[in-house]
Amino acid sequence: MRREITGFSNPLVKQVRSLREKKHRKREGLFLAEGLRIMTEAREAGFLPEMLFRCADRDAHSLEIVLEGEVLTAGGDVIETSADILSKLSGKDNAQTVIGVYHEHPTALSDIDRNAAPIWLVAQAMRDPGNLGTMLRTGDAVGAGGLILIDDCTDPFSVEAVRASMGAIFTQKIVQCRWAEFVEWLRGGPGQLVGTSLQTELDYQDPSYQSPCFILTGNEAQGMPADYAAECDLLVKMPMRGKADSLNAAVATAVMAYEVLNQFRRT
Amino acid sequence: MRREITGFSNPLVKQVRSLREKKHRKREGLFLAEGLRIMTEAREAGFLPEMLFRCADRDAHSLEIVLEGEVLTAGGDVIETSADILSKLSGKDNAQTVIGVYHEHPTALSDIDRNAAPIWLVAQAMRDPGNLGTMLRTGDAVGAGGLILIDDCTDPFSVEAVRASMGAIFTQKIVQCRWAEFVEWLRGGPGQLVGTSLQTELDYQDPSYQSPCFILTGNEAQGMPADYAAECDLLVKMPMRGKADSLNAAVATAVMAYEVLNQFRRT
């Protein structure tokens, strides 16, 4: 249905704005994605928003018109509102001209087809939403199947993580599980578990990686726990030529993932 | 001199807190760096803070004692204060237990010795402080000499950029200049300018890179202007196997920089 909201005090504005907080996202099973570019990627990946908020003052882009039509056909709402209310929803001064409210779509580990992709990313206790979203974006770029989140990671459906993912929140499978579950599932089929670590001398370019390759990146500050490292089939390190002993977690994941992709595409 | 500050209304608290804003940093020529780890890296790189704020309630770590001694010897101030005031200075709830006020230390392009390092990073209109700080951190890791900032980049001395640099703000040379100046300087000596771009079919693993290699990364949203791309000796692209057409700018820089490092370390 197409409707209009003009007042800040409208209960729907308050409800949607509350989706910037994790507890409300989890209660409603909904999250926010902003911008026509990301929302078009979502549509192409088969995800339509339940609600689409748009700025009533602006002419719609042709892609937005297509998107609105599909939302309405699917029984969703297109809500005409003001730039100020869009800013309030997004928490940014310069809000995008469209904001979508989507159903969260986590995948169960048991529903993953590990052979559907040569690379899978695994993050342990990743705390920074920018890092997590960037890992999703990198996963998309290297043709990974998805991101498996272990332990207490930041919420992949937060506004910041969705923004950093640049749409990959919709194209990458997202699994949240405990380490023991993951290991049991992993060892029930093919799969090489490769951890990046500071506690090894093995150069990341030396091994031959095997598909499906699971690239494990540990917590930003502590790295991964020792027993997780012990479970890895390979622990590797990137050369570090400076004063610092580590890379940003999302950067380390990307450098590692491109090495694996580069090996696979050579053969 | 060692002294104590207990009140939020102390003018020094207000002055130091104001360094979180760019205009005050530029006026004072000072910036903030937080945490013993980064401040120890600074010391090892030859930088001592003009003022060191510490939490009076905590016993000092041995590295902090060394640092405090050097600050006092050099004529700087060690200021005992409360955790609450440290939080106010840093703008974070869980502030580090030490915060330093440092002199900004930009380098003039003409003071760069291009042959001092095999890799140099160049960022054009980089807007996100996390990306800029992460590029510094990556530069340190690959043994780059520094980061050259072209056009209107975010301030490398902001709290967010310094934090993301993990100390590399002190180990990497930082140059800010205009494109025309940079090109004139670059062409006055050896140096290969390599741009990452979506407008090329040349795979980033195909060329042989030459030292000193200048890796140019364009603005997060627009990429680099066409005339900057035209000036590059090589334009290369990373394979993109998914739906998205680009990587995060700091990630792209890192993937590229590790390729160059990997080529150089093989020879």
pLDDT at A108: 96
B133 and B229, same domain (yes or no): yes
- Residue-wise pLDDT for B109-162, tens only, equals 999 999 999 999 999 999 999 999 999 999 999 999 999 999 999 999 999 999
Q: List C-alpha distances in Å: B14 to A83, A148, B11, B39.
A: 35, 45, 5, 22
Closest chain B residue to the Cα of A130, Cα to Cα: B130
Domain boundary among A82, A103, A124: A103
* Chain A residues within 8 angstroms (CB to CB) of chain B: 41, 44-45, 130, 134, 137-143, 164, 166-168, 171, 205, 238-244, 246-248, 250-251, 254-255, 258, 261-262, 265
Q: Is the pLDDT of residue A182 over 80?
A: yes
A168: nearest CB among B134, B244, B254: B244
Tell me, what's the pLDDT at B233? 98
How much of chain B exceeds pLDDT 70, in percent?
Answer: 100
pTM comes to 0.95
Average pLDDT of the residues in A3-27: 93
Say if residue A97 is in the same domain as residue A117: no
Between A57 and A99, residue with greater pLDDT: A99
**What confidence score (pLDDT) does residue B239 get?**
96
B71 in the same domain as B137: no
Segment among A179-193, B39-53, B86-100 with least mean pLDDT: B86-100
pLDDT 10s digits, A183-218: 999 999 999 999 999 889 999 999 999 999 999 999
Rounded Cα distance, A41 and B245, in Å:
11
pLDDT for B112 equals 97
Cβ density class A67-105: b for 16+ within 10 Å, e for less? bbeebeeeebbbbebbeebbbbbbeeeebbbbbbbbeee
Same domain, A185 and A213: yes
Residues B41 and B117 in one domain: no
pLDDT (tens digit per residue) in A107-134: 999 999 999 999 999 999 999 999 999 9
User: B164 pLDDT exceeds 80?
Assistant: yes
B246 in the same domain as B122: yes
Decide which of B245 and B106 is more confident: B106
Q: What are phi and psi of B172, to 5 degrees?
A: -100, 140
DSSP-derived letter for residue A18 is: G
pLDDT of B101 higher than 90? yes
The per-residue pLDDT for range B14-34, each reduced to its tens digit, is 999 999 999 999 999 999 999
Which pLDDT score, from 0 to 100, does residue B60 have? 84
| Sheet containing A2-4: order of strands | A2-4, A77-81, A51-55, A98-103, A30-34
Mean pLDDT to the nearest integer, A160-187: 97
Q: Give the CA angle between residues B194, B197, B201 to the nearest 5°.
A: 95
**Is the model's pLDDT at B242 over the cut of 90?**
yes
CA distance B147 to A115: 41
Q: Do residues A50 and A132 share a domain?
A: no
For residue A180, give both structure tokens: 């023991």
Domain that holds residue A228: 109-266
Instruction: State residue A71's pLDDT score.
Output: 97
Q: What is the CATH number of the domain that holds A155?
A: 3.40.1280.10
Listed residues A103, A138, A165: the one ending a domain: A103
Question: What do you get for the CA distance between the two ends of chain B, in Å?
Answer: 52
- Residue A266: pLDDT band (50, 70, 90) is confident
Structural domains in chain B (count): 2
Q: How far is CA B142 from CA A40, A43, A83, B116, B129, in A?
A: 37, 39, 44, 13, 20
Q: CB–CB of B41 and A243 under 8 A? A: yes
Give chain B's mean pLDDT: 95
Q: What are phi and psi of A263, to 5 degrees?
A: -65, -45
B180 & B242 share domain: yes
| Cα gap B191→B196, rounded to integer Å | 16
Mean pLDDT of chain A: 95
Check: CB of residue A118 under 8 Å from CB of residue A146: no
Contact B137 A168 (CB under 8 A): no
Cβ-based contacts of A137 with chain B (< 8 Å): 244, 247-248, 251
Virtual torsion, Cα A161, A165, A168, A170, nearest 10 deg: 30
pLDDT at A234: 97
Q: Are A253 and A156 in the same domain?
A: yes
Answer whether B248 sits within 8 Å of A134, measured CB to CB: yes
Cα(A33)–Cα(A40) distance, integer angstroms = 11
Sort A3 into a burial class: Cβ within 10 Å, 0-12 / 13-18 / 19+: exposed
* B98-103 and B30-34 strand pairing: antiparallel
Q: Which long-range contacts (CB under 8 A, 24 or more apart) does B108-115 make?
A: B108/B175, B109/B148, B109/B175, B109/B177, B109/B181, B109/B182, B109/B185, B110/B185, B112/B145, B112/B146, B112/B148, B112/B173, B112/B175, B112/B185, B113/B145, B114/B145, B114/B189, B114/B190, B114/B191, B114/B212, B115/B190, B115/B212
pLDDT at position A207: 98
Question: Are residues A187 and A98 part of one domain?
Answer: no
B84 and B60 in a single domain? The answer is yes
pLDDT above 90: residue A90: no
Average pLDDT over every residue of A93-105:
87
Q: What CATH number did the domain enclosing B70 receive?
A: 3.30.1330.30
Is B241 found in the same domain as B166? yes
Question: Of B69, B84, B103, at which residue does a domain stop?
Answer: B103
Tell whether the model's pLDDT for residue A267 goes beyond 90: no
